[in-house]
Amino acid sequence: MKKSQKPPLQQELISTIFSSTRIIYTRMHEKGIPCLGSPLQRETLRFINENEGVVMKDIAKYLQIKPPSATSIINNLVKVGLIRRQLDCHDRRIVRLFITKKGDNFFHQGIAHMNKRLSKLSMSEKKNLIKILRKIAIIQ
């Protein structure tokens, strides 16, 4: 394909999805809004925020990754103080995961920023975007 030609529509769509995400998080960083580096870290924080007290195997199953990969993600989130580990009070072999105050603030700042970005879309556009993303998500 020559440089002057437009990329196929599907390739342009894929590129736009990735660049949009990158641009959103770059702008968040520039404005001092904390944002995690990887989508898996962000999704892990969201999952723990909504399901406090989960265990490592819950994270791995939800993200559809191997337990050692989940451990690596959790270690990084613990290291920066966004989540904490706590031994289960009934079975000390079980380690439960909880979001910290810093993690909660971080999470809600990100949500507020995304809500502000999404407020630029009309209700119809939001519904269409949801419909499109759901359609993409179930096509494998």
**What pLDDT is recorded for position 33?**
65
Task: Please name the residues in contact with 61: beta carbons below 8 A apart, sequence gap of 6 or more.
Answer: none
**What pLDDT is recorded for position 129?**
85
138 compared with 98, residue with greater pLDDT: 98
Range ranked top by mean pLDDT from 3-7, 121-125, 129-133: 121-125
In which residue are the tokens 């994270």 written? 59
Q: Is the pLDDT of residue 1 over 70?
A: no
**What pLDDT is recorded for position 3?**
54
- The per-residue pLDDT for range 59-111, each reduced to its tens digit, is 999 999 999 999 999 999 999 999 999 998 898 889 999 999 999 988 888 78
Residue 114 phi/psi, 5-degree rounding, is -65, -40
In DSSP terms, which residues pair with 86 in a beta bridge?
96
Asked if 35 contacts 42 with a C-beta cutoff of 8 angstroms, the reply is yes
What CATH code is assigned to 37-108? 1.10.10.10
**What pLDDT is recorded for position 37?**
61
**What pLDDT is recorded for position 42?**
82
Q: pTM of the full predicted structure?
A: 0.70
- The per-residue pLDDT for range 20-29, each reduced to its tens digit, is 777 777 777 7
